[in-house]
Amino acid sequence: LHTILQAKVPEALPLLDELVKILTPNPREIVEAEKRSRSVVICGIPEGESNNSLSERALLTDKTVSVILDVLDIDVRPVEVYRLGRPVDDRPRLVKCVFPCHRPFFDVLKRASKLRSVTKFKDVFIRRSMTIEERKKDQQLRAEARELNRINHN
């Protein structure tokens, strides 16, 4: 193909090379997308006291996630549980949970509303893990839905 284009339409070669670069899959992105497809993010899990060691705080996070999964009747434990970002004084960091397969991921999302009935977890929310672009789109759609609800119900 390259030889034919060289002979017939040489000005198309740079465009073809650029297209190949764009369409060539990035292995890292593929792995991240697969991992994200079985990951949830939990908001509202309190952090341990700052005077505790890092390992004690990590254990507290793991234990709290386990209790949440017990409330949701999920029998598969995540393969990874960790906090996202740097600590901020006024609010707890998000917690990411990566499951070994898709079934518990879907079950967690389906049963997440059960947390509202547990006083200890009424301020804990669960969503799927998303890229920055997906989060922006989700935020935009929610804003549009709020506006439509405001207009239609007033």
Spell out the domain ranges in the chain.
30-152
pLDDT at 21 (0 to 100): 79
C-alpha angle 13-14-18 in degrees, rounded to nearest 5: 115
- In this structure, what token pair is assigned to residue 110? 């389906």
Q: What percent of the chain has pLDDT over 90?
A: 63
Topology adopted by domain 30-152: Alpha-Beta Plaits (3.30.70)
pLDDT at 62 (0 to 100): 95
pLDDT at 116 (0 to 100): 93
152: left (phi over 0), alpha (psi -120 to 50) or beta: alpha
Task: State pLDDT tens for residues 28-40.
Answer: 888 888 999 999 9
pTM, two decimal places: 0.78
Residue 50 phi/psi, 5° resolution? -65, -20
